[in-house]
Structure 1
């Protein structure tokens, strides 16, 4: 049996977690919607960092889409736009 979509996304996130953790942050999967939008919660310093939107788009979304091309979009549910 192959890895589920969530498992594959977790693997992709594991690849970038060390970088997020180095800055005191992390990400947690909230859900993958029916239309294949990955919803994440940014935790630690990531949730309030002014660069978090850029980190999400450039780092997290790119890593996830490269590993799991089915994912259409990545959204953070708790990003505060500075």
Structure 2
């Protein structure tokens, strides 16, 4: 089931580490409660949590340098948006 997403989050799906970092540095997407303009440090199996103003909370994983498995928080659970 595809959920309606903020454009900033849609642009993050499948983007490279560098592209995603640049998008977040420009604002609109906040990581862990603040705009993160520093290079990200990704963990191989970890999720990052993203808050999009007015659109809710998301989490994503990173595989091969790209953002994948973006999920949106619905209630207490996260549902896939891919």
What is the TM-score when the length of structure 2 is the normalising length? 0.30
The answer to which structure has the higher helix fraction is 1
